[in-house]
Amino acid sequence: MINDFNALLDNTEDAMHHVAIYSGTREFIKHKSRNQMHILDEQLHTMKLCIYHGIMVQVENLDGECIIQMCRCTESQSWCEGDRQNDWVWVKQRPGR
């Protein structure tokens, strides 16, 4: 079961995906903390995480109006009769949820 960041990396077979997940997460934390927070590798690897296959996200459309968009991960299944769809979406969980 994948319940922390280290398990996610351990279960990522493709080396390029492994590097992309690790470095992307590092850059995301660095950007969001405006370089004011440093997280050691040991801390990053033990961070708890949740994996979602679908999530409702509030976004702005091209007119600037807020709408709800369903983001999904199809894993190995096709998307709209085409290639599979597996996008990364960073979600900040609200406290108490």
33 sits in which H/E element: none
Question: With contact defined as beta carbons under 8 Å apart, do 58 and 68 qualify?
Answer: yes
Tens of pLDDT, residue by residue, the chain (97 residues): 778 889 889 988 889 988 988 988 888 888 777 777 778 888 888 888 776 667 777 888 888 888 888 777 666 666 566 666 666 666 566 666 5
Q: Which of these, 25, 20, 28, lies nearest to 45 by C-alpha position?
A: 25
> Which residue do the tokens 């369903």 mark?
70
What pTM does this model have?
0.52
